[in-house]
A and B are shown apart, each in its own frame.
Chain A
Amino acid sequence: MIIKENSESEESAISGHQRHRAKWRHYWELLWFKTYMDLKIETQITYLGFFWWFLEPVFFLFIYYYIFAIILKTRTPYFIEFLFVGVVAWRWFAPAMSRSCRSIKSQARLMREIYVSKLIFPASVVLNDAFKFVIIFFILLTFLAVFHNKPNLLWLAVVPNFICQLTIIFGYSFCFAAVTPFIPDFPLVIQTFTFALMMVSGIFFDVLAAPPHLAYILQLNPIADVLINYRLPLINHHSPQWGYMLYTFVFGCVLNIIGIYSIRRNERIFSKVCA
């Protein structure tokens, strides 16, 4: 099973390198355009269009606020701020993971007729959700600035944390998207996995307040670390846990390597198994 391209002379090796670069540039162009078009489609299939990108998270946060602050009358200081940061960050993980695991399989028809790198499909799902996350995140920052405290320099620490979160989501998405075409039951497994992650990532409780040995285990989950590293600078006026931030980044990079390798290896197999 070999697909190879002829390259004989040294000259063609140089032009091969250029072609390689041109190919990657083309992937980027396709990725951005596809992401932009997917967002455009979302605005066109609903009456309220892009207003939903604002309305939905605001409704969502309001429901949490209503339950925890008004019905349950939570007394823990800053609990609402704590909860909002957790929920908002989680709102990027959850849909990105469940949508991206079907992303390659859902393009079966296109894949049968046109050769295109399958990396594009999960990547555009992640970027699409990243865009929506940025909107809801700014709503959250506004809320914190109004009701919690004034923005300060520590807030800048959310930028590297955002990059770590993006890396992890890309990593998980590539890995999951690569498996689903071969195992159709996989999305159901992911559903359960996501639910379990939601419970242990410290959205509703403080991982750092747990007994040390338990906190250590919980912090092996990079999503828990991402949540902690958003909360420390935004709510606790504390610098983030840089060591754990590095850990999440490395964890994400490893997932990316595994996921990208799996997809690249099966580029010409997916179209056969998805038929």
Chain B
Amino acid sequence: MSEIIVSLKNVGLCYKKRFSLKKRKSTTYWALQDINLEIFHGQSIGICGRNGAGKSTLLRVLAGIVSPSRGMITIAEGVRSGLLTLQSGFNPYLNGADNAILKGLYMGMKKEYIQSKMNEIIELSGLGVAFYNSIETYSSGMAARLGFAVNYFCMPDLLLIDETLSVGDKQFKQKSKLLIRELIQSNKTVVIVSHDEDALASLTSKVYTLENGILTS
């Protein structure tokens, strides 16, 4: 078996409601109860669950964005994990090129690398001349296409995808779906969360179900 890149042992995560003078009692909510999961290199995993089951929280734990409240997460050295995000990290007043560099830097890539990929980003996003206009002039579909293109070239070692992506127009949707499928079939390690079990089963090699913060296979 290939190497484990992330393992979760008895991971739980709670959110605390903030203390205020009006509501003195602070309440806690356990979004993840007791998660045990091992992800191997090159594996593609689907996690299925209803709204509010803790899917997004689990992805954030895997991405290293939040630390668990209990339990242990072990990430193999040098592994870059990241959520596939479309519009975060963009500033409306900057043009596509500046935004691509800024987002790439946020995602841990080098500025030189992103600059070297600029032509390919323009091509994949299909933005053409609009690429050099400020993002505030973009439609939300255009911004999402730029986001997808930057993500594609700044791909982390462990790619985490939230829900099925509905990006841009029909043509681009097909293109992005194809790319995601290609990624999953390649050597990339991918975790996808969705509420659609059938779609997950067709895309990934293993599907887990997440319910009330507990993961079952």
Contacts and interface: CB of A to CB of B under 8 A. Distances in A.
Interface residues of B, number: 39
Contact of A115 (B63, B77, B94): B63
Given A40-B94, A112-B65, 7 more contacts: A29-B105, A29-B111, A30-B105, A110-B89, A110-B106, A113-B83, A114-B106
Chain A interface: which size bin? Answer: 35 or more
Contacts, number: 100
B91 A115 contact: no
A3 B65 contact: no
B138 to A, nearest CB: 15
B22 to A, nearest CB: 13
Interface string A1-39: 111111100001001100100000010011001100100
A30 B106 contact: yes
Contact of B64 (A30, A37, A109, A115): A115
Interface of A: 1-7, 12, 15-16, 19, 26, 29-30, 33-34, 37, 40-41, 44-45, 109-116, 184, 268-269, 271-273, 275
B93 A114 contact: no
Contacts of B101: 33
Given A26-B110, A33-B102, A2 B88 contact: no
A184 B21 CA distance: 13
B77 A5 contact: yes
B106 A44 contact: no
Interface string B74-112: 111110001101001101011000100110011110110
B102 A2 contact: no
Nearest to A272: B66
A36 B21 CA distance: 41
